[in-house]
Structure 1
Amino acid sequence: MYLTQGLHRCLQQTPDRTATIFRTRRQTFRQLGDRVARLAGALRQLGMAEGHRVSMLALNSDRYLEYMLSVWWGGGVLNPVNTRWSVPEIVYSLDDCDTGILIVDDHFLPMVPGIVASASRKPVLIHAGDYPTPDGMLSYEQLIANATPVEDAQRGGDDLAAIMYTGGTTGKPKGVMQSHMNLWSSAISRMAQYPCPEDTITLHACPLFHTAAMAKAVTLFVAGATHALIPAFDAKEVLQTMVSERVNEILLVPTMLQAVLSHPDFASHDLSGLQRINYGASPISAGLLDAALAALPQVQFFHAYGLTEAAPVVSVNPPVNHGPEGRTSGLYRSAGRPGYGVTVKIVDEQGVEVPRNTVGEIIVRGPNVMQGYWNKPAETAATLKDGWLHTGDGAYMDENGYLFIVDRLKDMIVSGGENVYSAEVENVLSRHPTVASCAVIGVPDPRWGEAVHAVVVLKPGALVDEAGLREHCRQFIAGYKCPKSIEFRAEMPLSAAGKILKRDLRSPYWKDSTRQVN
């Protein structure tokens, strides 16, 4: 088993099917296979040996998919760069895993001098863009044109495939080591439950450096489906591309889905061809799900729960749980059940499994679980214990094996000795018709230790005050869970993957405290 096998299958069976669509560029699997073999040959000529790391700092494009496949074809290891990082953060990731080659697109060329000036090992620089290639860099297209295709190295199984650096919420980022088996088994597990038809055209709007988007790309490689891409999430371009390319599937995080549905031009776009929306990063709120189902009645919704260390999917909540029955039973709020080959337990602080419907920590075992953190044995030992991945996520499991995420354990608010799970409060707030998005955090309180604080973004033109939102919350949750304070903002701080950055919301409140802000 190796991650380029899907490309070989397409070259054998469907070579003339469209493989990638990026704005005005499109290519067949035959063309993709030729470019991949050539780029792999060029990378080998530039020093990439088996197991060597190659990075890419770029927005989404067809070239990003070529990078992924070419590095694997040539026997190397991916080290995708977070596009939201500063130069010091980028350099740390390159130095940490001794990256020898860095591919950069037009958008990030201004960062190259800073990277070169401070990196311990000066990487070979490749320019993958449409601007003239700067001095000191090699042209991506010229390398492909001049290179001799090479045979696939066919590294697979437990061989390292990617080092995916986490966001670095505590200290330095950690490089999650994902093997070919990790990524392949995660894709196969999802496809066994919910097949990916060959006529699938998936729009990549989430950044490909992120584990969720990369995993979706791997699934499409295995299935031989078509990749449509836009450089970065933009609600209008999402709508336009879904129409022009007859996209039938898309991966979004809830904040992105909200932006698409609320775009002023939404109603003028014919999205009747859209069949599936996969969402993750956080559960969907009741209000957003209602709006999505009303606006897109033909669409099936899938929710995937996972983390980078699980490559990344642990469980999937199927479309049936997003309809009327799922709303009545409450299963729409679940993270689904663990996938094939994935074992999950809910344990207490001593690692002992707790009874059903009791909150504890999710631990995971299976072929999708990472090999460890690159060069960090202590952190690896703290996370991987006796073959189990300790996720740090608080949840309970019901009698039928459905997971219900209550919070990141570090996000749990302890107010007056009572545990308050921010996700529960957020779900209630999101039901208010004026709320576009919200986040709940704990802030210092002299009497209670921590107080529940809500950060809210209102829908355009909406009017509501703190008292109105607190009264709304009291109808659904206990008084001690209701926000003691509410802050209104025009927008939320978001990661490159569209996830709300709670650490940025917490930081001003805890900057004079000894508590670590995560």
Structure 2
Amino acid sequence: MYLTQGLHRCVQQSPDRVAVIFGERSETFIELHSRVARLAGALQKLGMNAGERVAMLALNSDRYLEYLLGVWWGGGVVNPVNIRWSVAEIVYSLDDCDTGILIVDDYFLPIAFKIADTARRRPVLIYAGEGVSPPGMLSYEQLIAYTPPVDDASRGGDDLAAIMYTGGTTGQPKGVMQSHLNLWSSAVARMAEFRNFGATISLHVAPLFHIAAMARAVGHFIAGDTHVVMPSFDPCAVLETIERHKVEEVLFVPTMLQTVLEHPDFGSRHLHSLKRIYYGASPVSAAVLDTALARLPGIEFYHAYGLTEASPVVSVNPPANHSAAARASGLYRSAGRPGIGVTVRIVDQNGMEVPRNTVGEIVVRGANVMQGYWNRCEETAQALRNGWLHTGDGAYMDDDGYLFIVDRMKDMIVTGGENVYSAEVENALSRHPAVVQCAVIGIPNARWGEAVHAVVVARPGSILSGDDLREDCRQFIAGYKCPKSIEFRSAMPLSAAGKILKRELRAPYWENQILQVG
């Protein structure tokens, strides 16, 4: 149970198979093995002792995958930096876990020295771009070229493998500590659930600093799949890459899927190689799913629900629940059933399991659950209670064990004494064919305490009013759940992982309020 074992296996069994493709570069497993072993040696010479943290601030690339494997090979701990953060937030994450080495690419080169100069412990800077290394930085390629390979440190099991910083929706971000066992067990459980790993050509377009993409890469390392890597999401480039490299599967957030389906080049590209689409961060809307099924017949859709603290997958919704025939069951709206090796309960505020079809908090137990938050004893004790990870997500479980997420517990709207879960309202809004995206929040209301407020992105060229949407919602949900107010925007604020940032939508309404939501 160590995260470099898959590379050893591939070198033994298929050394000349292509491991990674990035732009015009490609490397076989034996070439990847050599570069990883040399990178590990270079990092050790720069002070990466067992358990030492190494950060990378970069867009996706072949070097990003080498960074993950190289740090683990050398016995270190990865600290992948959120590419959407400010310099101050990046410095906080480096300082918080005392990170001594920072690898940057061309995109983030302009802020590298500002980060280093501000950090409490100035990190060794390594340039992993395409040009000549700037003064004051070491060259990634030269380190690999001139450092002899070292043996795998073979750290595994409960040894720390990664510190993944959460988005910091409240207060400072927390460093989620994930062991080799956490990441390995989650990956292997997914492999057993999906049954599609091994000699697969997989596209990485979601950012690799995020747990969803990084953990997926871990699974492909274990299985020995071919990684096709794109620096960032661009729908035209995604279509070209799938066609060019005969990509068989890809992970999207629903907004990415929708953008690809609506791109003008979609109909002219040959996408026959594509077999599977995984999506996460949020459920797919009925309209997007219908379009996808029509335009990509025969594609298998998988939805996974999880969180960083669970490394990350908790439950999986399989292709059988995404077909047109299965739509009537409503199971495509679920988060699926708990995965292999993961135990899930829905509990009340006292930690007692509630009856089926009753809303409560999701708690999780399994080898995938994090070790805790870095240097945050109180927060760790709050999240990990009696052997269970308390997710903060509100949901119910039906009689067949399917999970239905209703809201973050802290995002529940209390209006006039009634509980309203934003996901239920968003599901109703998204049924309208003119709604591209929507988010529901609670805003202050003198009479009701909170009022249900919707933020909507409408399809270009459509004519849509708030009254139209409210009337449409009344067909599906009770009147008190329907939005009291609706705001139309051209775009939503999104996180690097493609999630809608509700805290930014909420902030203007609660700025001068004594009581705030979330």
SS in 1 for 2:203: strand
| Residues matched between the structures, number | 518
Cα deviation per residue 1:106-162 (whole Å; 9 max; x = unaligned)?
A: 000111121122100000000001122111100000000000100000000000000
2:488 is the counterpart of 1:454 = no
2:481 is the counterpart of 1:481 = yes
Q: 1:393-408 alignment to 2 at 5 Å?
A: 393-408=393-408
Report how far residue 490 of structure 1 moved: 0.6
Task: Tell me how large the CA RMSD over aligned residues is.
Answer: 0.9
2:429 is the counterpart of 1:429 = yes
Cα deviation per residue 1:221-254 (whole Å; 9 max; x = unaligned)?
A: 0110010111111111111111111111000111
Code of the aligned partner of 1:476 = F
| Equivalent-residue separation in structure 1 for 2:257 and 2:278 (angstroms) | 10
Code of the aligned partner of 2:341 = G
| Equivalent-residue separation in structure 2 for 1:156 and 1:288 (angstroms) | 41
| Equivalent-residue separation in structure 2 for 1:238 and 1:517 (angstroms) | 38
Q: Does the 8 Å contact 2:437/2:458 carry over to 1?
A: yes
Identify the residue that residue 123 of structure 2 maps to in structure 1.
Answer: 123
Please list every run of 5 or more consecutive structure 2 residues that lacks an aligned counterpart in the other structure.
Answer: none
Report how far residue 410 of structure 1 moved: 1.4
| Equivalent-residue separation in structure 1 for 2:100 and 2:501 (angstroms) | 31
Cα deviation per residue 1:196-233 (whole Å; 9 max; x = unaligned)?
A: 33231111110000000001000100110010111111
Code of the aligned partner of 1:399 = D
Q: Does the 8 Å contact 2:394/2:408 carry over to 1?
A: yes
| Equivalent-residue separation in structure 1 for 2:162 and 2:302 (angstroms) | 26
SS in 2 for 1:389: strand
Q: Does the 8 Å contact 2:334/2:404 carry over to 1?
A: yes
Q: Does the 8 Å contact 1:61/1:230 carry over to 2?
A: yes
| Equivalent-residue separation in structure 1 for 2:35 and 2:101 (angstroms) | 18
Q: Does the 8 Å contact 1:503/1:517 carry over to 2?
A: no
Identify the residue that residue 272 of structure 2 maps to in structure 1.
Answer: 272
2:30 is the counterpart of 1:30 = yes
Q: TM-score, normalised by structure 1?
A: 0.99
Identify the residue that residue 413 of structure 1 maps to in structure 2.
Answer: 413
| Equivalent-residue separation in structure 1 for 2:196 and 2:2 (angstroms) | 19
Cα deviation per residue 1:321-357 (whole Å; 9 max; x = unaligned)?
A: 1113431111111111111111000000111100000
Report how far residue 256 of structure 1 moved: 1.0
Q: Does the 8 Å contact 1:84/1:495 carry over to 2?
A: yes
Identify the residue that residue 45 of structure 2 maps to in structure 1.
Answer: 45
Report how far residue 460 of structure 1 moved: 1.6
Report how far residue 266 of structure 1 moved: 1.4
Q: Does the 8 Å contact 2:439/2:500 carry over to 1?
A: yes
Identity across aligned pairs (percent)? 71
Code of the aligned partner of 1:246 = K
Q: 1:2-21 alignment to 2 at 5 Å?
A: 2-21=2-21
Report how far residue 271 of structure 1 moved: 1.3
Q: Does the 8 Å contact 1:272/1:298 carry over to 2?
A: no
Identify the residue that residue 83 of structure 2 maps to in structure 1.
Answer: 83
Report how far residue 262 of structure 1 moved: 1.3
Cα deviation per residue 1:375-411 (whole Å; 9 max; x = unaligned)?
A: 0000000000011000000000111111111111111
Q: 1:224-263 alignment to 2 at 5 Å?
A: 224-263=224-263
Q: Does the 8 Å contact 1:205/1:251 carry over to 2?
A: yes
Q: Does the 8 Å contact 1:196/1:220 carry over to 2?
A: no
Code of the aligned partner of 1:35 = R
Identify the residue that residue 369 of structure 1 maps to in structure 2.
Answer: 369
| Equivalent-residue separation in structure 2 for 1:509 and 1:265 (angstroms) | 40
Q: 1:89-488 alignment to 2 at 5 Å?
A: 89-488=89-488
| Equivalent-residue separation in structure 2 for 1:109 and 1:153 (angstroms) | 31
Code of the aligned partner of 1:99 = T
SS in 2 for 1:447: coil
| Equivalent-residue separation in structure 2 for 1:175 and 1:338 (angstroms) | 25
Cα deviation per residue 1:464-504 (whole Å; 9 max; x = unaligned)?
A: 11111111111111101111111111100000111110100
Identify the residue that residue 71 of structure 1 maps to in structure 2.
Answer: 71
SS in 1 for 2:395: strand
| Equivalent-residue separation in structure 2 for 1:230 and 1:363 (angstroms) | 35
Q: TM-score, normalised by structure 2?
A: 0.99
| Equivalent-residue separation in structure 2 for 1:469 and 1:433 (angstroms) | 11
Q: Does the 8 Å contact 1:157/1:180 carry over to 2?
A: yes
| Equivalent-residue separation in structure 2 for 1:279 and 1:267 (angstroms) | 22
| Equivalent-residue separation in structure 1 for 2:355 and 2:182 (angstroms) | 29
Q: Does the 8 Å contact 1:60/1:231 carry over to 2?
A: yes
Change (3 A) 1:451 1:517: closer
Code of the aligned partner of 1:393 = D
Report how far residue 45 of structure 1 moved: 0.7
| Equivalent-residue separation in structure 2 for 1:265 and 1:454 (angstroms) | 32
Identify the residue that residue 498 of structure 1 maps to in structure 2.
Answer: 498
Q: Does the 8 Å contact 2:2/2:157 carry over to 1?
A: yes
| Equivalent-residue separation in structure 2 for 1:22 and 1:490 (angstroms) | 33
| Equivalent-residue separation in structure 1 for 2:326 and 2:315 (angstroms) | 17
Q: Does the 8 Å contact 1:196/1:223 carry over to 2?
A: no
Q: Does the 8 Å contact 2:243/2:270 carry over to 1?
A: yes
Report how far residue 517 of structure 1 moved: 5.2
| Equivalent-residue separation in structure 1 for 2:227 and 2:506 (angstroms) | 38
Q: Where in structure 1 do 4 or more consecutive aligned residues deviate above 4 Å?
A: none
SS in 2 for 1:107: coil
SS in 1 for 2:107: helix
Moved more, 294-303 or 361-370: 294-303
Q: Does the 8 Å contact 2:159/2:180 carry over to 1?
A: yes
Report how far residue 516 of structure 1 moved: 4.2
| Equivalent-residue separation in structure 2 for 1:515 and 1:99 (angstroms) | 37
Q: Does the 8 Å contact 1:60/1:232 carry over to 2?
A: yes
| Equivalent-residue separation in structure 1 for 2:407 and 2:292 (angstroms) | 24
SS in 1 for 2:274: coil
SS in 2 for 1:324: coil
| Equivalent-residue separation in structure 2 for 1:197 and 1:446 (angstroms) | 55
SS in 2 for 1:121: coil
SS in 1 for 2:89: helix
| Equivalent-residue separation in structure 2 for 1:430 and 1:191 (angstroms) | 32
Moved more, 455-464 or 205-214: 455-464
Code of the aligned partner of 1:435 = V
Please list every run of 5 or more consecutive structure 1 residues that lacks an aligned counterpart in the other structure.
Answer: none
